[in-house]
Structure 1
Amino acid sequence: MKLNQSKIILILIGALLIGLLGGYGGVKLAQNQGDSSSSGITDTDTSGSGDTDDDLPADLHKISQTFDLIKSNYIEDVEDNELVEGAIEGMLSKLEDPHTSYLDSEMMQQFNEQIESSFEGIGAEVSEVDGYITIISPMKDSPAEKAGLRPNDQVLSVDGESVEGLNVNEAVAKIRGEKGTDVVLEIQRSGVSDPFEVTIQRDTIPVETVYSEINSEDGKDTGVIQITNFSEHTNEEFTEQLADLEDQGIDGLVIDVRGNPGGLLDVAEDILKQFVPKDMPYLQIEDSDGNKEEFASDLDEEKGYPISVLIDEGSASASEIVAVAMKELGYDIVGDTSYGKGTVQQAIPLGDDSSIKMTTYKWLSPNGVWIDGDGVEPTIEQKQDDYYYSIPIQVTDDEPLTYDHTSEAVANMQVMLSGLGYETDRTDGYFSEETESAVEEFQKDNDLDVTGEVNEETGGLIETQTIEKIRSGEDDKQLERSLEELYQ
């Protein structure tokens, strides 16, 4: 007897469930932000599955009934694939895991582009945190970084449309777009009362992930390697640049994973294999049954020079794998407590260019610590200057910031001006005479009309110069502290 349409769909959904719950051999295939390779999914033979819906388990029978009821009775036509995708998304939503999601073919293509080559967008890693679409970290030199987005910024709307109720993939689809087009994000920042808008021009985001230089101070040549993402070619870039630094005779090394949202698990492993000797694991993986497996390198001994690692609240996932392993090996970790993502996802293909990105394992530190939700605490805590944490100045020409006013916007402007070297005498939000003088001095230095008031032009330039100073690393207190402590 021929299987009816709903039965065929139910078999497909059932096969999906069996595949997902059946486990996958080989932790080495697991990747921190996903793996487009197959991990144990096989074609399912339905020829002997029976002829009626009654053969199905009761719960799946309800899905079949619902499908038939919609197709037979709903007032409008609904595509079969929309119902199937809705069923899948509904099941995944019950897991209440922001890192598990359904990726249709378009989302899967975007996902692979971000790992492998380049993509068009604003260049920021986002996730769902406590029900909010949240910036985990802007990428180095990206439009998001240049616009001043920061880790933990919550995205409330995109181009005036609320993202409430959207999953991460749906929100990302709205944020991304063609190079040269603008997107307006409404942002809520921790510690700031009112949301603010940021207009960002999308661009091509190259997946260039490793940057290095030598810092020469106090008779010491210190190699500084920044890793911005753990992507397909990151280990090759890192290994090549580290070898170049060592050939130049560095006395010590700083590994900078601040603002690094993570990436591929095996890439983080390959980097750790160059530092963590074989007498301790560099990582542990725990499955859903609580079984743990340790992974170790074949390295005989540690490097012969001191090392420290820089982290901040934007360091997540694979960055934390590196940081906590180096911490437990005895190296200093400098900066702020990291994000706290201790799970591993796999992208499991469904056979039609779509996939499910699912949390399949926990990762643990070499000593078996699970940092999920807590992050990696630095051994040396170091904050940046206040202006690093400022927000865009929200002001209009009709309502400029002026003398004798008090507001949060004035306080934010005072912090920025102070960071740029203009003495405002206070940062409490009262627009004093000294603040007015600082504004006038700034306007004079930048060939603006000297009014002492902060309108759109003055506010925009203060903001732009502040972001440029942050990106230049001129007052990078965390790097400075790391260099100071490295040879103690």
Structure 2
Amino acid sequence: MYVRGRTAFLFVILSIVLTALVTMAVLSDGSWLREASVFSSLSESGSPVDRDLEEEFDKLEETYELLQKNYLHEVDSAKLIDGAIQGMVESLGDPYSEYMDPEAADHFHSSLESSFEGIGAEVTMQDGRVTIVAPIDGSPAEKAGLRPNDQVLRVDGESLEGLTLNESVAKIRGPKGTEVELEILRSGSSTPLKITVTRDEIPLETVSSDMLDHNIGKIRLSNFAEKTAEDFAASLKQLEGQNMQGLIIDLRGNPGGYLAAVEEISNLLVPEGRPILWIEDRDGNKKATKSSLDGKKPYPIVVLIDRGSASASEILAAALKEAGGYTLIGEPSFGKGTVQTTRDFKDNSNLKYTIAKWLTPDQNWVHEKGVQPDIKVTYPPYYEATPPSAEEEWKRDDNSEQVRGAQLILEGLGYDTGRTDGYFDAETESAVETFQRDHNLKQTGAIDKPTALKLQEQLVELIRNPENDVMLQRAVDELKKRL
């Protein structure tokens, strides 16, 4: 069994609660069928703990029977059981543990495929809200202006409050070409934003590489999928064959993936015998996975991370920093330091649950803290911009977060708006007119649909331009010092 994304670890440790769950069934008369091997062992031991556990299950059975026999309306047995399991998992207070009904489980498993239809963003549940970990490179989510840590409040006007992560994802995803309106809350803003995203097919091409000036190679890892390690090895070999003198590994916006891929890549970079990571179970037992690389790479390596680097990408970043001695540049990473596994049930429902911690080579736990860069570099202000909606017109004296987004984009493009607080004043109007003139648009000074679409397009180009990538340029500068 393998698990993707932020459930990337292959551990099978079944708790008492799970053992009880998978050994229960419901008879036609509504009573519980308890598998003898489990409950006979409880009764034989006779310990107070075992008796207490059996009494708790007696209470669960009694509640089930009362509802079946006495509730005003007819009840669905399967829904009662699903609800009981859901309640157990929710009581853990763990955003990474979740029970999925067959439909939600199908969405979960489909995310393991080479492509899918949706908006192209990895999400998690944080503080009870669906939160963007990172938009996928080139995805509709990225083009529409979604950013790491954006909280999704509503989908097409429907609140996500009380829904599980997979229930929320099911509402966000949809067929290629259809639109979905997301109401999001962005860090630093008190007013929710509405962003319309056109769904598309999202290919999971996870590795890209380039040779930059001064024979500096760059390998971008957007995810850790089944063939990522193989593709990484091929790219690395190709760059080394071109006399590469230094390497940049870009893990920004990488939400995670297969642990096996991280281990294989680490074995190409981390010196032999050094730990790649440690796994610590509930009893405090620790086990290290160590590198098998013969020697160390003869060239310097710099790694780029940001707050969208999560889970498996944090494992690789920490391994390269602490075990490989390589330099990390950027922002602190997302901070997800727990290990999940999944259990599929006969009805195709699924339980995902946390079973361990992962620790860095120096046995640091980065959960909710993130991997810290050696050299901190932050994104320019326009990176946080929310492009103005093409569905509304923004003009003189308007005041909104989307006007602020337009101001940040214009400033990033070299147009002086005089302010970036969201108030549409005369100087902003003048900057918009100049932008419209330079892009052959009608010079109204208002942000109409054509202007909004052009600003969205220009923002993507602005972010994608390597010359504007302050983290990348800092990485190049650091490597040039060592060549």
Q: Same-fold call, TM > 0.5? A: yes
Aligned residues: 454
Does residue 335 in structure 1 map to residue 324 in structure 2? no
What displacement does 1:408 show? 4.8
Mapping for residues 78-89 of structure 1, pairs under 5 Å:
78-89=75-86
Which residue is equivalent to 2:7? 34
Matched residues in 2 for 1:296 and 1:36: separation? 16
Mapping for residues 161-200 of structure 1, pairs under 5 Å:
161-200=158-197
Change (3 A) 1:379 1:74: same
Question: Which deviates more, 411-420 or 316-325?
Answer: 411-420
Which residue is equivalent to 2:448? 455
How big is each residue's C-alpha offset from its partner over 1:403-448, in whole Å with a ceiling of 9 and x where there is no partner? x666654443221111122222443445454433221111112222
Preserved contact between residue 144 and residue 456 of structure 2 (Cα < 8 Å): no
Matched residues in 2 for 1:144 and 1:262: separation? 18
Change (3 A) 1:204 1:408: closer
Which residue is equivalent to 2:102? 105
| SS across alignment from 2:410 | helix
- Picking from 215, 219, 222, the partner of 2:216 is 222
What displacement does 1:112 show? 2.4
Question: Which deviates more, 418-427 or 155-164?
Answer: 418-427
Which residue is equivalent to 2:372? 377
How big is each residue's C-alpha offset from its partner over 1:106-146, in whole Å with a ceiling of 9 and x where there is no partner? 33332222223221111111111111110111111211111
Does residue 487 in structure 1 map to residue 443 in structure 2? no
Mapping for residues 272-421 of structure 1, pairs under 5 Å:
272-328=266-322, 329-393=324-388, 400-402=394-396, 408-421=401-414
- Picking from 251, 259, 270, the partner of 1:265 is 259
Does residue 467 in structure 1 map to residue 460 in structure 2? yes
| SS across alignment from 1:309 | strand
Which residue is equivalent to 1:441? 434
- Picking from 245, 250, 254, the partner of 1:251 is 245
What displacement does 1:48 show? 6.2
Which residue is equivalent to 1:240? 234
Which residue is equivalent to 1:135? 132
Change (3 A) 1:49 1:139: closer
Change (3 A) 1:48 1:467: closer
Change (3 A) 1:283 1:351: same
Q: What amino acid sits opposite 2:443 in the alignment?
A: V
Change (3 A) 1:35 1:231: same
| SS across alignment from 1:86 | helix
Matched residues in 1 for 2:11 and 2:127: separation? 31
Question: Which deviates more, 250-259 or 204-213?
Answer: 204-213
Q: What amino acid sits opposite 1:292 in the alignment?
A: K
Q: What amino acid sits opposite 1:387 in the alignment?
A: Y
Mapping for residues 54-93 of structure 1, pairs under 5 Å:
57-93=54-90
Matched residues in 1 for 2:306 and 2:135: separation? 12
| SS across alignment from 1:442 | helix
Matched residues in 1 for 2:37 and 2:205: separation? 51
- Picking from 150, 154, 165, the partner of 2:147 is 150
Preserved contact between residue 425 and residue 435 of structure 1 (Cα < 8 Å): yes
Question: Which deviates more, 129-138 or 405-414?
Answer: 405-414
Preserved contact between residue 37 and residue 348 of structure 1 (Cα < 8 Å): no
Preserved contact between residue 122 and residue 135 of structure 2 (Cα < 8 Å): yes
Preserved contact between residue 230 and residue 262 of structure 1 (Cα < 8 Å): yes
Matched residues in 2 for 1:29 and 1:159: separation? 34
What displacement does 1:382 show? 0.9
| SS across alignment from 2:247 | strand
Query: Structure 2-normalised TM-score?
Result: 0.88
Preserved contact between residue 230 and residue 264 of structure 1 (Cα < 8 Å): yes
What displacement does 1:453 show? 2.6
| SS across alignment from 1:295 | strand
| SS across alignment from 1:282 | strand
What is the identity percentage for the equivalent residue pairs of Structure 1 and Structure 2? 48
Q: What amino acid sits opposite 1:159 in the alignment?
A: D
Give structure 1 stretches of 5+ with no counterpart: 1-27
Q: What amino acid sits opposite 2:359 in the alignment?
A: L
Q: What amino acid sits opposite 2:365 in the alignment?
A: W
Give structure 2 stretches of 5+ with no counterpart: 24-33, 44-50
Q: CA RMSD in A?
A: 2.5
What displacement does 1:201 show? 1.4
Preserved contact between residue 270 and residue 276 of structure 2 (Cα < 8 Å): yes
How big is each residue's C-alpha offset from its partner over 1:435-464, in whole Å with a ceiling of 9 and x where there is no partner? 332211111122222122333432342233
What displacement does 1:31 show? 6.2
| SS across alignment from 1:451 | coil
Q: What amino acid sits opposite 1:223 in the alignment?
A: G
Matched residues in 2 for 1:486 and 1:38: separation? 38
Question: Which deviates more, 458-467 or 57-66?
Answer: 458-467
Which residue is equivalent to 1:202? 199
Matched residues in 2 for 1:313 and 1:38: separation? 27
Preserved contact between residue 215 and residue 221 of structure 1 (Cα < 8 Å): yes
Q: What amino acid sits opposite 2:385 in the alignment?
A: S
Matched residues in 2 for 1:103 and 1:267: separation? 26
Preserved contact between residue 36 and residue 112 of structure 1 (Cα < 8 Å): no
What displacement does 1:98 show? 0.5
Matched residues in 2 for 1:39 and 1:255: separation? 32
Change (3 A) 1:48 1:347: closer
| SS across alignment from 2:112 | helix
Which residue is equivalent to 2:27? none
Matched residues in 1 for 2:467 and 2:414: separation? 12
